[in-house]
Structure formats: structure tokens, C-alpha cells
């Protein structure tokens, strides 16, 4: 991954995922898009662990809806993962901007790092345009950073 800073996972949220048949390719290893799904689950569960339900924020009236959407995703695939592996998705907040969050993620199997990701998510309103992250969410992200 590009970037000058080295990710810190000391305060990362951790979420286990098991590799199923549906996650693998013809060669028996996790298909590259499977890693993206695992990273998405990790981000969603990090929010849920801190009381933020994506469905609750999206179920508001269209004018009040707020969502996080991926603006940029960079993945480095380092080692293969295979059927029945138990993986841990680690998600850490690196930077909090006006409307965006920079997150570092990694997928581990025991002591092995299987893949890493740098993700930029942007908060958008019901009109589909970026909006500032509300202060209560900003405070939460600062606390877990």
C-alpha cells in the first residue's frame, strides 16, 4: 500500500470470519473479491460494536439519510487463504477528515497477515452528496483512533 504512515492496529476492532466454499475460486483459495467482502464486514461490525447501525442511518427519510460509502480501496494480497481458515479482520481508524474517514484494515490468520487494505469512506447525505461527519460520530471515531 502506498502512503507514508505505518498502520497501527493496537486499538483495532477485530472480527472473525470463516472461509466457506462460496469464498473460494477454482484453485481452492479465497477469490480476490472475497477479501473485499471480508473487509466490508469488518468495517460494518466496527460501526455496530460502537452503536452505529447502517440500516438505522439509511432508514431515515431520504432528506435525513446518512451513509458511509467507499471512495477508495487499495488492497495488497500477501498470502493465500483457503477453505475453512479462520481469519480475523482488523479495522483501525487512521485519519478523520471533514466528510471522510481513512481506515486501515488487515486480514490475519494466526500470526500471518493475509491481506491489507487502505480504505477511504465518505459520509453522504440522502441527496448523494458528501456531508460533514456529525460531531457525535467524530467524537466516537476520535475515541477509538
Catalytic-role residue among 23, 25, 59, 84: 25
* Cα(99)–Cα(120) distance, integer angstroms: 10
Q: Report if residue 119 sits inside a domain.
A: yes
Residue 59 pLDDT > 60: no
Q: What's the distance, CA 44 to chain centroid?
A: 7
* Cα(96)–Cα(106) distance, integer angstroms: 19
The single residue listed with the C-alpha cell 475460486 is: 25
CB 29 within 8 A of CB 19: no
Residues 6+ apart with CB under 8 A from 127: 62, 63
pLDDT-above-70 percentage for the chain: 88
Q: Report if residue 45 sits inside a domain.
A: yes
Q: Is 25 a catalytic residue?
A: yes
Residue 56 pLDDT > 50: yes
Q: Report if residue 3 sits inside a domain.
A: no
Q: Report if residue 8 sits inside a domain.
A: no
The CATH code of the domain that includes 70 is 3.10.129.10
* pLDDT band per the 50, 70, 90 thresholds, residue 51: confident
Q: What is the mean pLDDT of the chain?
A: 89
* Cα(145)–Cα(139) distance, integer angstroms: 10
* Cα(32)–Cα(120) distance, integer angstroms: 19
pLDDT of 115-145, one tens digit each?
Answer: 999 999 999 988 889 999 988 888 888 888 8
* Cα(132)–Cα(99) distance, integer angstroms: 4
pTM of the model: 0.87
Q: Report if residue 136 sits inside a domain.
A: yes
Residue 46, phi then psi, degrees to nearest 5 = -60, -45
* Cα(41)–Cα(49) distance, integer angstroms: 12
- pLDDT at res. 86: 98
Give the domain extent around 135: 13-144
Total domains in the fold of the chain: 1
* pLDDT band per the 50, 70, 90 thresholds, residue 62: very low
Q: Report if residue 88 sits inside a domain.
A: yes
Amino acid at each position: 500500500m502506498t502512503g507514508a504512515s505505518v498502520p497501527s492496529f493496537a486499538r483495532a476492532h477485530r472480527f472473525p470470519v470463516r472461509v466457506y466454499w462460496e469464498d473460494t475460486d477454482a484453485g481452492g483459495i479465497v477469490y480476490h473479491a472475497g477479501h473485499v467482502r471480508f473487509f466490508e464486514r469488518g468495517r460494518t461490525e466496527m460501526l455496530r460494536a460502537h452503536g452505529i447501525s447502517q440500516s438505522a442511518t439509511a432508514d431515515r427519510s431520504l432528506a435525513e439519510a446518512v451513509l458511509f460509502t467507499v471512495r477508495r480501496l487499495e488492497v495488497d494480497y500477501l498470502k493465500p487463504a483457503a477453505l475453512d481458515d479462520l481469519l480475523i479482520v482488523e479495522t483501525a481508524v487512521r485519519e478523520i477528515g471533514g466528510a471522510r474517514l481513512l481506515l486501515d484494515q488487515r486480514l490475519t490468520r494466526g500470526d500471518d497477515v493475509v491481506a491489507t487494505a487502505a480504505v477511504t469512506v465518505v459520509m453522504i447525505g440522502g441527496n448523494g452528496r458528501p456531508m460533514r461527519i456529525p460531531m457525535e460520530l467524530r467524537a466516537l471515531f476520535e475515541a477509538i483512533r
